[in-house]
């Protein structure tokens, strides 16, 4: 998409690009280039650099640390981050629990938790899904029983992304088992170092430790760590999921992935011509490019609406569905372009394993394919999102 940027916006783009080029941590860049797994300190190092500039929570209200940027400036920021291939600023704090705290939290809770989220001092994780409550999140069974000034929490969460890095977690728990499913849930903030919290790894198809199961065995949580009213946690959950689903679209990252795919297809020669000139492959490439362009327009309309004071609505479900489908199709086309070479995959676990140069593209593409299968499921499966759209838009 080509926007008619003003002079001030072009200057802002230059400022952002210069900032990233000058301040992106060299050690993090080296680990990326050598194909090494990123550590907790790698993610937080970049977050803290951005925080010192005052840019770590651009979508937040200014009074809580936000930048006051326009939707176009936020769009430019995300594009420049994608173009520079920076590690993401992990959104569990900045994009998920932070907005819940400043929307529903008490003044004391805001003062206690928000500054550390902005500064990148604390890593958060999300305790929503359970073995029997994935897409049907309201069926969760983790219990929290009131005991004076504390809740005693017991149960199990699963698919807790990067929970092994987390200092704190935000959890949905059932505080009234007799109420209808959505009505008996509360939203608790839990210190992951609390006695009774156990984090166990789940190794995924790409061979990585990204997700976990979390066991809560009689964990005592102060009542002051409950956000909003008891049994009103579903209100917080819906607000949080709206932010999560809009972020999952990852339009800027997909635009970079599309450019990478074009270069890859241009470098592969089949039957005497570059793959990018093959009519069948080019048709698939063009189809996904059109869908990505439409997705970008939709995202920009939503950002403009938010600037006008409108909260994210059902359109975030559309962003989530189309965004994850585009991501997966781009990855599938990369695999198709590489063909049998995509089977040549291995992971580097140390600097000595990785060697002095970047790992082959086939490794990243194959690992990415396995990892990206999850995107149409997390944040509420795409089937659930279509049900939401059907009910809210079509009245079905």
Residue numbers annotated as active site: 244
Whole-Å CA distances, 295 to 174, 195, 199, 302, 319: 36, 45, 37, 11, 7
For 67, phi then psi, to 5°, come to: -90, -20
Please give the torsion angle defined by the CA atoms of residues 40, 44, 45 and 51, in that order, rounded to the nearest 10 degrees: 180
Whole-Å CA distances, 140 to 130, 184, 192: 6, 10, 20
Enumerate residues 6+ apart whose C-beta is below 8 A from 10. none
Nearest to 84 by CA among 9, 17, 3: 17
How far apart CA 67 and CA 70 sit, in angstroms, is: 9
Q: Report which DSSP code applies to 96.
A: I
At residue 372, the 3 state secondary structure works out as helix
């Amino acid at each position: 998409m080509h926007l008619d940027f003003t002079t001030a916006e072009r200057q802002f783009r230059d400022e952002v690009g210069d900032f990233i080029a000058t301040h992106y941590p060299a050690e993090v860049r080296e680990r990326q280039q050598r194909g090494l797994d990123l550590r907790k300190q790698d993610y937080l190092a970049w977050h803290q650099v951005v925080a010192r500039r005052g840019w770590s929570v651009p979508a937040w209200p200014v009074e809580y640390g936000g930048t006051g940027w326009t939707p176009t400036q936020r769009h430019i920021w995300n594009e420049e981050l994608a173009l520079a291939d920076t590690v993401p600023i992990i959104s569990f704090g900045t994009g998920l629990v932070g907005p819940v705290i400043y929307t529903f939290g008490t003044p004391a809770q805001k003062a206690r938790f928000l500054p550390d989220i902005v500064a990148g001092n604390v890593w958060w994780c999300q305790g929503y899904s359970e073995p029997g409550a994935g897409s049907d999140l309201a069926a969760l069974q983790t219990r929290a029983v009131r005991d004076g000034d504390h809740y005693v929490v017991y149960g199990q969460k699963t698919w807790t992304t990067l929970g092994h890095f987390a200092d704190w977690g935000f959890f949905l728990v059932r505080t009234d088992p007799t109420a209808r499913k959505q009505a008996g849930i509360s939203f608790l903030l839990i210190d992951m170092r609390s006695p009774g919290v156990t984090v166990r790894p789940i190794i995924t198809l790409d061979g990585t430790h990204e997700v976990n199961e979390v066991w809560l065995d009689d964990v005592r949580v102060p009542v002051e760590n409950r956000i909003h009213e008891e049994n009103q946690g579903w209100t917080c959950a819906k607000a949080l999921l709206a932010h999560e689903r809009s972020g999952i679209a990852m339009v800027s990252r997909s635009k970079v992935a599309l450019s990478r795919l074009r270069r890859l297809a241009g470098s592969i020669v089949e039957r005497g011509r570059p793959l990018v000139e093959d009519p069948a492959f080019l048709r698939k490439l063009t189809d996904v490019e059109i869908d990505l362009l439409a997705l970008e327009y939709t995202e920009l309309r939503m950002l403009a609406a938010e600037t006008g004071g409108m909260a994210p609505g059902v359109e975030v479900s559309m962003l989530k569905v189309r965004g994850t489908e585009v991501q997966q199709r781009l990855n599938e086309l990369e695999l198709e372009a590489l063909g049998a070479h995509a089977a040549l995959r291995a992971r580097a676990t140390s600097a000595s394993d990785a060697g002095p140069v970047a790992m082959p593209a086939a490794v990243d593409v194959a690992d990415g394919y396995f990892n990206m299968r999850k995107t149409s499921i997390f944040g509420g499966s795409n089937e659930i999102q279509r049900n939401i759209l059907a009910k809210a838009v079509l009245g079905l």
